[in-house]
Structures are given as structure tokens and as C-alpha cells.
């Protein structure tokens, strides 16, 4: 959390980053107004899950394997 890059990036993102056990976590408000914190790994898992669901809905079948690239 105290890393210079994390501190710099905190000023650039539209969400709040909080310190949890010395690590950066993303703080969000969920549907009922409750505040929750998620690790970067949890956020990545949520994004990948949503990507899979979207692809399966588009293709009309289950996806077993995939390749994801990041620019």
C-alpha cells in the first residue's frame, strides 16, 4: 500500500483504494449501500468470470478453455 506507484495511481483512479494489512484493496459500495473491500485478485476474478459469462451467452455454449491477452 505504501509503494510509490500505488500512491501515485490512487490519485488517478475513480474508486477508493484502502490499506488492508499493508496491501491495497479496492473499496466499493454495493447495491444496498454497504461498503465492501476487495483485493486486486478478487476484482480480477470477477472480471474474468463476467467475461466468461458474456462469451458463453454470445456463443450459446459453455467455454472450457480461453486465451486472454492484455495490451
Per-residue pLDDT tens over the stretch 30-50: 888 899 999 999 999 999 999
Task: Compute the C-alpha angle 28/33/38, nearest 5°.
Answer: 25
User: Which DSSP state fits 12?
Assistant: T
* Any domain includes 54: yes
What is the Cα–Cα distance from 50 to 45, expressed in whole angstroms? Answer: 9
The whole domain housing 49 covers 4-59
3-state SS, residue 10: helix
* Any domain includes 67: no
* Any domain includes 12: yes
* Any domain includes 8: yes
What is the Cα–Cα distance from 59 to 44, expressed in whole angstroms? Answer: 22
* Any domain includes 71: no
pLDDT value at residue 34: 93
| Tally of structural domains, the chain | 1
- The CATH number linked to 15 is 3.30.30.30
Beta carbons of 10 and 17 less than 8 angstroms apart: yes
* Any domain includes 68: no
Give every residue of the chain whose pLDDT is below 70, as ranges.
none
pLDDT value at residue 33: 87
Amino acid at each position: 500500500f505504501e509503494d510509490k506507484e500505488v500512491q501515485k495511481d490512487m490519485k488517478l483512479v475513480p474508486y477508493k483504494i484502502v490499506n488492508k494489512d499493508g496491501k491495497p484493496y479496492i473499496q466499493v459500495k454495493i447495491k444496498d449501500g454497504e461498503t465492501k473491500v476487495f483485493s486486486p485478485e478478487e476484482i480480477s476474478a470477477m472480471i474474468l468470470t463476467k467475461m466468461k459469462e458474456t462469451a458463453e451467452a454470445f456463443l450459446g455454449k459453455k467455454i472450457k478453455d480461453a486465451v486472454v491477452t492484455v495490451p
